[in-house]
Chains A and B, each alone.
Chain A
């Protein structure tokens, strides 16, 4: 690992000031630290945001659940409030990585990194999340812009993620047997007006499967999507899974999720 300056600011303003084109915000460090250790990334300044109190915690209102950026997966998984308001979200958090990852990894880190196989982005998409940054509020569908890419600008820091509480929701994942990231993950959320089926792992970036969402919006049942073919075009094909297999899993796990709702 290359040498770097370590900063541990106490508030967001200071953190933001320290940021440059050669810096990284550090939360759980689940991706940043291995990347630095492997020499894949190096920074002049590493800005540890874990000491910024305001960035951690879970708030539930009548309509939404807001989770602070440095809240750990284990905290989300164990939260009674989350379990009551959006059980699928607690379930998702409880199945990320392993116990060590869940006790260090954070929601802000996960969505800022936007790994195409990460679980949280699918929840953001399906639950019409609003990403609160130190500069603005960004809708989830505008936030995830491509593989490991987001709408975040230099110095911009995720502060919290606000999820809309759905009527029903479920998350189903087919984990990569090696890394336990999602080979595919499907988040189905039934809101008052419509249904969102968000898919992670299948393509270069999380997306809403419009066909499945539309069908389920008009008839929220397994039978509504039975026999519906999910097209494999544009899906990832690698040594872990072919596009064809991924497509099969998306349709299968969408059904499983609807069934579990």
Chain B
């Protein structure tokens, strides 16, 4: 039987999605449901003097109004930071309380203050308008660099500093810098992004007054984790009385990791008002309250020799956490950022120092790539600038500093198990016709255009593991994944996974894996996820972990099925277990060539007997049934890597930047489904080009979000992209039995510096910040003209 792993199997889920049969949270309606509308702070920072609900309660159709006071009285816990980070001086990070409904103070525009439930959505909206909140407006802290000099937003958080974290050795770095021929410096802003999942957040809650069980349908990337957090920290209900279902979810990108205010409030309130509740975010609410991404201010330096060897690296970053520390908010700018900031290079001495600050803006958390795009942007801008300043070809300087031996002990934290960075860059150069660039540049020049080429070589650390290691770094949970493979008596198989698909195509890829392991057609396999009542437990999907962690749990559970199947088949065929070989779904007795299919074995496991004879196929010590589970905790992160090359053409009259060519060569180890992987890379590059050229979250000085709709926030669109030219190299991961590496975030990690390096190359090395919008580029072109004129 041909292996399914590695083939371009069409997506099983496309049928329902393309036919409009997807079932999203907003599609779910429960008889007698009420509609929730949240009253949100219009101010970035304000004291809540009083909340008057009397008029709202009298409003037509209103069933109930709840505020921060009631939720505090019921001792419902708030939102949490999932990762404890220590400062350089050993002190613990400072985390303010984040109540689900603000009671005394509101800290960003959109923070929920009260909630209104009514018979219809319109009545709930009408009621919400009648809730009168008396605010005392305070001066907002918006700029992260200013935050450390501003008044403390939260009591006890001096200088608005959550932590001042250091990774690496300052002294060693100083010594390395002292030996350098040249110090390359960059000042960078990693622009804040709004994730913009196509499906806005939503929840539907149903409280069963008889069983006292709460069922929460929600837009989550990790339903089990939501249940755990709501139960353990929220105190909403014990875990056995709380069922969390994340049905079809229309994109997450990290923004649906968190347990949000609205889910906690609606779950708590459903029990209180004894009615089901439905809440669906409007797009403006998504802009204001979904966790945002990035938002770093970085100064970084690279110590180099004249012949382009890297000696040392410094990274001083201020990370904006927004108003509160959320689930991955504190780790994203530290362990997910700092270690990767030295990139794919041998740099003997390095440190990353990160100051994380609170501001009166929406909380910032993991967003596709989470820390690694910021890291890659930092090092790859430095490397490109070093090439320019030293007069060395930009690919040559990279090659010169790549490790050639694997495992590669990276300067900070990671030991990269496998890779071949030289092969990746060589292939990218060839595919991008790197040599032919100068001719293309001249041609552009003849047309009055500026053409630039940019390179970025990256590695990233995803599929965060093992649990003991991540918990030693402050993580509040282990990052293993579970799977259960249930072979039904009549031969169909349900594969339960703790990972969650919200665009990742698990229905297809996980079925491919299980089909190969069990030797059955993938049509016989259903992948089940997203329901705490169905799967055992799971950590969910983020950080490119589903395949490298969750997929392996499936493999291991399948192997257990086969192992038991072997024992049963041996008994059925009356041979010793070691005389049985399992191949293509059949257990074969090697000597006699007698066979039992895995379906026959499964059937025998459930119906272990026969008429007229006392005979069981189940060996002594085994139990009936054919269900196996596995909890997989990998030995290490997985380390995808690659090189991307981009060419842009700039119209100096308008400043318009056109991405002319984009080549990506990635090493994701063994690839399960090339078509789906290509889709992941396309999406990631699109988001990265979005960050580099288009997307820009802007708050004004009072903390109002200026870009709170698609009229003002530029999402990249199809006509912003060329056709992506993709290639792959392959070195197998050694940390998992499939040899796979995560592929979900790589595109978004590699592309922003690739594009910016190309833009800056076109501008003759003139630095420009992201997003490189037309006006910014136009101004840079004017400056370039002036300086060229002067030089002439």
* Chain A residues with CB below 8 A from B715, complex form: 178
Flag if B778 contacts A245 (CB, 8 Å).
yes
Q: Which of B714, B778, B779 makes the CB contact (< 8 A) with A177?
A: B714
CB <8 Å contact, B122 and A178: no
A1 lies within 8 A of chain B by Cβ: yes
In the complex, chain B residues whose CB is within 8 Å of the CB of A174: 654, 774
- B22-30, B152-160, B181-189, B705-713: which lies at the interface: B705-713
- Among residues of A, the one whose C-beta sits closest to the C-beta of B712 is A178
Proximity bits, A219-255, B CB within 8 Å = 1, else 0: 0000000000000000000011110010011001000
Q: Are A240 and B712 in contact (CB under 8 A)?
A: yes
List, in ascending order, chain B residues with CB within 8 A of A3's CB.
122
B775 CB contacts on chain A under 8 angstroms: 241-242, 245
CB-defined contacts of B711 to chain A, threshold 8 Å = 178-179, 181
CB distance from B319 to the nearest CB of A (A): 24
In the bound complex, residues from chain B placing their C-beta under 8 Å from that of A39 are 125
Chain A: interface residue total (CB-CB under 8 A): 18
Residues of chain A lying within 8 A (CB to CB) of residue B710 = 178-179
Inter-chain contact A239/B694, CB cutoff 8 Å: no
Using Cβ atoms and an 8 Å threshold, which residues of chain B touch A178?
A: 707, 710-715
Identity of the chain B residue whose Cβ is nearest the Cβ of A253 in the assembled complex? B654
| Interface magnitude class on chain B | 20 to 34
CA distance A174 to B778 in the complex (A): 13
Contact in complex: B122, A249 (CB < 8 Å): no
The verdict on B653 contacting chain A, using a C-beta distance below 8 Å, is: yes
Residue of B whose beta carbon sits closest to that of A249: B654
B 648-669 binary contact with A (CB < 8 Å = 1; else 0):
0000011100000000000000
A98's closest neighbor in chain B, by CB?
B717
Asked if B698 is at the interface of the complex by the 8 Å CB criterion, the answer is: yes
The answer to whether B773 has its CB under 8 Å from any CB of chain A is: yes
A1 touches B712 (CB 8 A): no
* Chain B residue at minimum C-beta to C-beta distance from A174: B654
Contacts of B707 in A (CB 8 A): 178, 239
In angstroms, Cα B778 to Cα A248, docked, is 10
**Separation of A1 and B711 alpha carbons in the complex (Å):** 20
Interface-central residue, B122, B707, B714, by most chain A CB under 10 Å: B714
* Cα of A2 to Cα of B122 in the assembled complex, Å: 7
B759 to chain A, nearest CB (A): 15
- Nearest-neighbour CB distance to chain B for A98, whole angstroms, equals 9
B653: chain A residues within 8 A (beta carbon): 248, 252
A-contact bits for B268-308, CB 8 A (1 contact / 0 none)? 00000000000000001000000000000000000000000
Contact B122 A179 (CB under 8 A): no
Distance in Å: Cβ of B601 to nearest Cβ of chain A: 55
A residues 1-16 near B (Cβ < 8 Å) are: 1-3
Bound state CA distance, A241 and B779, in angstroms? 12
Cross-chain contact A239 with B706 (CB below 8 angstroms): yes
Interface positions of B from 440 to 473, Cβ below 8 Å from A? none
Return the contact of B694 from the options A38, A177, A241, A249 (Cβ within 8 A).
A177
Of chain A, the residue at the smallest CB distance from B693 is A177
Decide if A252 touches B654 in the complex (CB within 8 Å). Answer: yes
Known contacts A1-B122, A3-B122, A177 near B712 by CB under 8 Å: no
Q: Which of B653-704 contact A (CB under 8 A)?
A: 653-655, 694, 698
Q: Using Cβ atoms and an 8 Å threshold, which residues of chain A touch B706?
A: 239
CB nearest neighbor in A for B771: A177
Return the CB mask of B769-782 against A: 1 if under 8 Å, else 0.
00001110011000
Q: For the complex, what is the distance from the CA of A39 to the CA of B42, rounded to whole Å?
A: 15
Q: For residue B779, which residues in chain A have a CB less than 8 angstroms away from its CB?
A: 245
In the bound complex, CA of A242 to CA of B774 (Å):
11
**Which residues of A173-187 have CB atoms within 8 Å of chain B's CB atoms?**
174, 177-179, 181
Give Cα A38–Cα B710 distance, bound, in whole angstroms: 14
- A248 and B656 CA atoms in complex are apart in Å by 13
Contacts of B774 in A (CB 8 A): 174, 177
Rounded to whole angstroms, the CA-CA distance of A179 and B774 in the bound complex is 15
Q: Mark A121-142, 1 if CB is under 8 A from B, else 0.
A: 0000000000000000000000
Please state if B714 and A239 are interface contacts (CB–CB under 8 Å).
Answer: no
Min Cβ gap A172→B in Å is 11
Q: Which residues of chain B have C-beta atoms less than 8 A from A2's C-beta?
A: 122, 126
**Closest partner residue, chain A, to B700 (CB atom):** A239
Contacts of A252 in B (CB 8 A): 653-654
Name the distance in Å between A249's Cβ and chain B's nearest Cβ. Answer: 7
How far is the CB of B123 from the nearest CB of chain A, in Å? 10
Q: How far is the CB of B640 from chain A (nearest CB, A)?
A: 31
User: Within 8 Å CB of A248, what residues of B?
Assistant: 653, 778
Minimal beta-carbon separation of A179 from chain B (angstroms): 4
In the complex, what distance in Å separates the CA atom of A106 from the CA atom of B583? 66
Beta-carbon contact of A177 and B654 below 8 Å: no
Do B712 and A179 have beta carbons less than 8 Å apart? yes
Which residues B697-751 have CB closer than 8 A to chain A? Answer: 698, 706-707, 710-715
A235 nearest CB across to chain B (Å): 13
Residue of B nearest to A178 (CB): B714
A1 nearest CB neighbor, chain B only? B122
Q: Are A239 and B654 also in contact (CB < 8 A) when A177-B714, A178-B711, A178-B713 are? A: no
A186 to chain B, nearest CB (A): 13
A239, B122: Cβ atoms closer than 8 Å: no
A243 and B655 CA atoms in complex are apart in Å by 15
- Closest chain-A Cβ to B641's Cβ sits at a distance in Å of 32
Q: How far is the CA of A249 from the CA of B656 in the complex (A)?
A: 12
Least CB distance from A251 to B in Å reads 10
> Quick one: which of B139-171 are within 8 Å of A by CB?
none
Residue ID in chain B nearest A241 by CB atoms: B775
Q: How far is the CA of A87 from the CA of B706 in the complex (A)?
A: 37
Q: How far is the CA of A1 from the CA of B120 in the complex (A)?
A: 12
Task: Give the complex CA separation of A57 and B694 in angstroms.
Answer: 38
A206 to chain B, nearest CB (A): 19
Pick the most buried of A38, A39, A181, A240: most chain B CB atoms within 10 A of its CB.
A240
Q: Which residue of A lies closest to B129 (CB)?
A: A39
Interface centre among A178, A179, A240, A241 (most CB of B within 10 A): A178
Nearest Cβ on chain A to B599's Cβ, whole angstroms: 50
Complex CA gap A69/B722 in Å reads 38
Q: Which residues of A contact B125 (CB under 8 A)?
A: 39
B696 nearest CB neighbor, chain A only: A239
Q: List residues of A whose CB falls within 8 A of some B CB.
A: 1-3, 38-39, 174, 177-179, 181, 239-242, 245, 248-249, 252
Q: Mind listing 18 A-B residue pairs with CB under 8 Å?
A: A1-B122, A2-B126, A38-B284, A39-B125, A174-B774, A177-B714, A178-B710, A178-B714, A178-B715, A179-B710, A181-B711, A239-B707, A239-B712, A241-B775, A245-B778, A248-B653, A249-B654, A252-B653
Which B residues have a C-beta under 8 Å from some C-beta of A? 122, 125-126, 284, 653-655, 694, 698, 706-707, 710-715, 773-775, 778-779
Additional A-B contact list (19), CB under 8 Å, known A1-B122, A181-B711, A245-B655: A2-B122, A3-B122, A38-B284, A177-B694, A177-B714, A177-B774, A178-B710, A178-B715, A179-B710, A179-B712, A239-B698, A239-B706, A239-B707, A241-B775, A245-B775, A245-B779, A248-B653, A248-B778, A249-B654
